[in-house]
Copies of this chain bind each other. A is one copy, B any other.
Amino acid sequence: MGEVFVAGVSMLKFGRYKDRDVTDLGGEACLKALDDAGLTMRDVQYMAAGCLLQANAMVGQRILHEIGQTGIPVVNVANACATGSTAFREAYYAVASGEIDVALAVGVEQMGKAGLLGGGGGSGVRTEGVVGSGLMPAVFGQAGMEHMRKFGTTPEQFAKVAVKNHGHAVRNPLSQYQVETPLEQVMAARMVAYPNTLLMCCPSGDGAAAAVVVSAKKARELGVTVRVRASVLTSDPWTERDLTQPDVNTLTRNAATIAWERAGLGPDDVDLVELHDCFATAELLHYENLGLCKDGEAGRMIDEGETTHGGRVPVNVSGGLLSKGHPLGATGVANIYEIVQHLRGRAGERQVPNAKVGLAHVIGLGSACTINVLST
């Protein structure tokens, strides 16, 4: 299996782009990632595009039409919230196969009126509008409550995730929000699904991100050193489920086990993590699911600031989904963007010093979990 490198990345500021479309946003992200890599569309031999809400609308080909219609293979993929990271992984396989030297992965979304609070994301569940509640908030609220029951985790500890990530985002100019939210404000916000208040839920927004994935040969030519050590995708295994193990946990645990093995690395080797904090409760669960701490210790970990910038293993220094935003198809590529920027020492004010290994994690219910481990 050929080694795979990331030669360039880009991300547009997440937010609202009412006068633009996914073709335009995705095209800009692709051109910026190519600029970042020092390449042009003429160099690209394969493209994977992820746009969940317009999955059958040939978004990849439309982007290509805008930015350089060279006739290359284009694959449009969809995998719930892991749509963008799945596009990245297909590009990874194309390069790993040895057939392709330069592949482009792009993730893009315009959310319109969609969002995790109302709709079911990619779940296809359409009842929430009727019952006045959301599937996603319910799933992650329940999972948080179970953690509270089992380990004594408190609503304040979950709320601290939002405080941390909103705080991190102040140093990320591409974040949808850049506003600190003190603990009292987070706790006092409207309750969405206990224990997650509105400030503990990711916002809805538009965005795009892209990555240029290259072979070892091309990486040498370009002087690129950021390598994909493992690119893993899992789906929900059949388990005798109880509320302590909904698929949000098992999915990630299985992916992490495979990722560490393939990468030849462990949780102690990681300098920063971008994980799928669609809700504040999710972040604490994933500390344990990814092996960053032992089961039941996530509350202590956030209390002691271990995952805050400057801590033992900074998590979501980009602001995370909670503050940076979550345009579904873009998220998976944007997480990789963040890791790559740190590994290259280009993360500006929010740089994690001497970052050598980073992990990007995305979970989509329905179900898909991706973990990409990158190193320099």
Contact = CB atoms under 8 A, between A and B. Distances in A.
A254 B71 contact: yes
A58 B73 contact: no
Contacts of A1: 97-99
Contacts of A56: 52-53, 55-56, 78, 122, 124
A235 B367 CA distance: 29
Contacts of A72: 234-235
Contacts of A234: 71-73
Interface in A63-105: 64-65, 69-80, 86, 89-90, 93-94, 96-99
A123 interface: yes
B79 A75 contact: yes
Contacts of A75: 77, 79, 86, 89-90, 233
Nearest to A92: B97
Interface in A12-60: 52-53, 55-58, 60
A264 interface: no
Do most interface residues of chain A lie in helix, strand or loop, or is the interface mixed? mixed
Q: How many copies of the polypeptide does the oligomer hold?
A: 2
Contacts of A297: none
Interface in A232-274: 232-238, 251, 254
A341 to B, nearest CB: 27
B58 A55 contact: no
A145 interface: no
A64 B235 contact: yes
Contacts of A71: 234-238, 251, 254
Contact of A55 (B69, B74, B76, B232): B76
Nearest to A254: B71
A58 to B, nearest CB: 4
Contacts of A93: 90, 93-94, 97, 99
A103 to B, nearest CB: 10
A359 interface: no
A302 interface: no
A21 to B, nearest CB: 12
Given A53-B56, A64-B235, 7 more contacts: A1-B99, A55-B76, A73-B232, A74-B368, A75-B233, A76-B77, A97-B97
29 contacts: A1-B99, A55-B78, A56-B78, A57-B124, A58-B78, A58-B124, A58-B366, A60-B235, A61-B236, A61-B366, A61-B368, A64-B235, A69-B236, A69-B238, A70-B238, A71-B234, A71-B235, A71-B236, A71-B237, A71-B254, A73-B89, A73-B233, A74-B235, A74-B368, A75-B77, A75-B90, A78-B78, A93-B99, A96-B99
